[in-house]
Structure 1
Amino acid sequence: MTPEQILPSPQRRQTYWHTALALAVLAAVVWLARRHWPMVETGAVRLAVADQGWLLVAGVATVATWPCSAFAQQGAVPDRLPPGRLVAAQFAASAANHVLPAGLGAGVVTLRFLMRCGIPFAGAATAIAVKGTAGGIVRGALIAMLVAVCPGVLLVPSLDARYLVAVCVAAVGALALLAGPLSDRCRRALTALRAYLGAVHARPVRAAALWGGSLAFVALHCVALVAVTRAVDLPLPPARVALLHLAASTVAALLPTPGGLGSLDVALALALTAAGAPAVAAASAVLGYRLLTVWLPLIPGLVVLGVLVRRGSL
């Protein structure tokens, strides 16, 4: 089967652009790492002698993120899913997400799992979209809350009112042009989505699982980073570290690198340093956080992925 038969031309071009951008980001990260290698090496040494108790807390928080992700995915599905296989699928999805760009791996794994559980393609795709939307809303609410608690940490650039007006006019014009061709399609999609959300939220247990699991997932990642900063004696308050993590991960999500590889590392290190952390401590904290959340679970996650494929669960 040729590549033309596997992907339509627009999707194939989009994949090429994503791959090229990911390679460019990774090349830039490698260049930065080589340029600042003494600082990275010193940070690694500092991590090796860090407080083991706090690192254990970070590890426990990381492990707890996968059941929380499974909890949120179950909340986005009206039907009951097998809990053990659901947690295993989320663990495997996190590993696949570190191999393929822009969350594609996690989406594909979860989609196949839901379809293997008897959910039609449209319902499975909607469930994934609902979970992602809930996670984005929770992340935005936490950022807003932490900005109020830690004023002045995030510096929002001031924009001329004329630029804002121009952007609004352009957006309204684009919507007006697309309103005719897409109105019926959008109306049908919104109607179907509203019906699906109604089915999910008609059961309070599902709604609690969706929103509670999404909140716990994001909060536990913040706890993991805070624990690592405590382990390496990084002198920043926990609330500020959590806010910087949420902001940096949001910015890094705009770049299609696998699992935020490179983009999240640089964004998080720069955010911690700009907030007043010593460069060596910031590098050590980022290394420890990424080691716990990406590199240590990667091989076991890929093994679980292979087992699920072999058993027909994916």
Structure 2
Amino acid sequence: MSSPSPTSSVAAPCGAGPAAPARSPAPMSARPVRLALCLAPLLVAGCWAAANRPVVSEGVRRLVAADPGWLLAGAGCTCLTWVAASCVRQGALPDRVPAGLLLASQCAAGAANHVLPGGLGAHAVTLRFLRARGVPLDRATASIVLYSLARSAARTLLLLVFLAVSPAWRRLADLVPDGPELVPAVAVAGGVVTGAGVLLTVVRPLRRPVTALVRTALADVRAVHARPGRALALWGGALAMPLVQAGALACVGASLGLGLPWPQVVLAFLAAGTAVGAVPAPGGIAVDAALVWTLAAFGAAPAAATATVIGYRLVTDWLPILPGALVLSALVRAKAL
């Protein structure tokens, strides 16, 4: 008979469960990496502000004489944008996530959008947040796809509604390119679709994960719409987000004396965002150019339209980037991302 091992000869205290294994302290080499991850968003924010110093100073100079009450209202609309985004994120996911942390992640996502273009920064932050909450990768990715589709569908629906009820839609005809100018855009879109189809057909290792993602997305769509609360959060937030964003633009325009009624400002915002919103430019540079052009087409003075768009970016992107970066660093330090 073999003798008992030293570990088995030690009896556990009466009523106590098995001893939990001792947790080894984090290695010293991991602390500098974690500190770098916490400070990286702040460094990016500082570099971005330094690179755009002339634009920031011009926007600040024009906004010094603006009505502070309307600017404060625009800042409030910006905060409501985070709330609407949180509703859409939760509505696109069958799993329930903490509301406070979800709202904080969307605040941090705004700062991350200045690093990666086309909304990829916000999606990356949200993906890491959902993974930290235990959501499987396929379901988290499917929720991001559903989030993007719901936002695009809601924006298009609102644009059609405003085009139907507003007589100012006729002025947008001057902004629509002629037939020959549409050929490059159609060619690029057709090339992208054809290339994606060829890749999915030829590259089998790529086809399997895409098929699994589509299958998971369809299952989650059915699960979300089977729950009225989730469906209301998804589509209600998707409809509210462009409205509060346009509300921020209208508030900034009112503070600077833009001289356009609120429905025309909303229509200009929806038209510009729908036309070039898919262009992968950080900070919405292409959208800003189209927005100035659209506001001028509706009758606003070019200088006032330019100042309004600069003020809009200052209120919705540039001022929130510092608190967003701080929240992002706090979430990284708390291992919520």
Q: What TM-score do you get using the length of structure 1 for normalisation?
A: 0.78
1:65 aligns with 2:89: no
For residues 240 and 138 of structure 1, the distance between their equivalents in structure 2, rounded to whole angstroms, comes to: 18
Q: CA deviation at 1:70?
A: 0.6
Q: CA deviation at 1:172?
A: 10
Map 1:102-181 → 2, pairs under 5 A: 102-148=118-164, 149=166, 150-155=168-173, 156-159=176-179
Match of 2:329 in 1: 306
Task: Give the alignment partner of residue 235 of structure 1, picking from 259, 281, 284.
Answer: 259
Identical amino acids, percent of aligned pairs: 42
For residues 290 and 72 of structure 1, the distance between their equivalents in structure 2, rounded to whole angstroms, comes to: 23
Match of 2:219 in 1: 195
- Letter matched to residue 228 of structure 2: P
Q: CA deviation at 1:189?
A: 4.8
For the structure 1 residues 180 and 109, does the alpha-carbon distance in structure 2 shift closer, same or farther, using more than 3 Å as the test?
closer
For the structure 1 residues 279 and 44, does the alpha-carbon distance in structure 2 shift closer, same or farther, using more than 3 Å as the test?
farther
1:245 aligns with 2:265: no
Secondary structure at 1:113's aligned position in 2? Answer: helix
Task: Give the alignment partner of residue 283 of structure 1, picking from 306, 313, 316.
Answer: 306
Q: CA deviation at 1:188?
A: 5.4
1:211 aligns with 2:235: yes
For the structure 1 residues 114 and 277, does the alpha-carbon distance in structure 2 shift closer, same or farther, using more than 3 Å as the test?
same
- Letter matched to residue 66 of structure 2: A
Higher fraction of helix: 1
For the structure 1 residues 172 and 238, does the alpha-carbon distance in structure 2 shift closer, same or farther, using more than 3 Å as the test?
closer
Q: CA deviation at 1:107?
A: 1.0
Q: CA deviation at 1:271?
A: 1.9
Q: Deviations over 1:80-105 (max 9, x none)?
A: 10011000001001110122222221
Q: Gaps (5+ residues) in structure 1? A: 1-26, 35-39
Match of 2:91 in 1: 75
Match of 1:53 in 2: 69
Alignment coverage as a number of residue pairs:
278
Q: Deviations over 1:268-292 (max 9, x none)?
A: 2222223221122112211211111
Q: CA deviation at 1:58?
A: 1.0
For the structure 1 residues 275 and 192, does the alpha-carbon distance in structure 2 shift closer, same or farther, using more than 3 Å as the test?
same
Secondary structure at 2:307's aligned position in 1? Answer: helix
For the structure 1 residues 49 and 313, does the alpha-carbon distance in structure 2 shift closer, same or farther, using more than 3 Å as the test?
same
Please tell me whether the aligned partners of residues 44 and 284 of structure 1 are also in contact (alpha carbons under 8 angstroms): no
Q: CA deviation at 1:208?
A: 0.3
Q: CA deviation at 1:252?
A: 4.1
Please tell me whether the aligned partners of residues 142 and 213 of structure 2 are also in contact (alpha carbons under 8 angstroms): no
Q: Gaps (5+ residues) in structure 2? A: 1-50
Q: Deviations over 1:128-181 (max 9, x none)?
A: 110111000001111111122232132233538xx79x9799999889978965
Secondary structure at 1:55's aligned position in 2? Answer: helix
Match of 1:272 in 2: 295
Q: Deviations over 1:38-86 (max 9, x none)?
A: xx95x75443222222222111111111111111100011111001100
What is the Cα-based RMSD across aligned positions, in Å?
A: 3.2
- Letter matched to residue 48 of structure 1: V
- Letter matched to residue 177 of structure 2: P
Please tell me whether the aligned partners of residues 139 and 217 of structure 2 are also in contact (alpha carbons under 8 angstroms): no
For the structure 1 residues 181 and 154, does the alpha-carbon distance in structure 2 shift closer, same or farther, using more than 3 Å as the test?
same
For residues 176 and 101 of structure 1, the distance between their equivalents in structure 2, rounded to whole angstroms, comes to: 24
For the structure 1 residues 171 and 133, does the alpha-carbon distance in structure 2 shift closer, same or farther, using more than 3 Å as the test?
closer
Q: What TM-score do you get using the length of structure 2 for normalisation?
A: 0.73
Match of 2:109 in 1: 93
Match of 2:18 in 1: none
For residues 169 and 282 of structure 1, the distance between their equivalents in structure 2, rounded to whole angstroms, comes to: 34
For residues 133 and 153 of structure 1, the distance between their equivalents in structure 2, rounded to whole angstroms, comes to: 28
Please tell me whether the aligned partners of residues 103 and 259 of structure 1 are also in contact (alpha carbons under 8 angstroms): no
For residues 95 and 172 of structure 1, the distance between their equivalents in structure 2, rounded to whole angstroms, comes to: 31
Match of 1:11 in 2: none
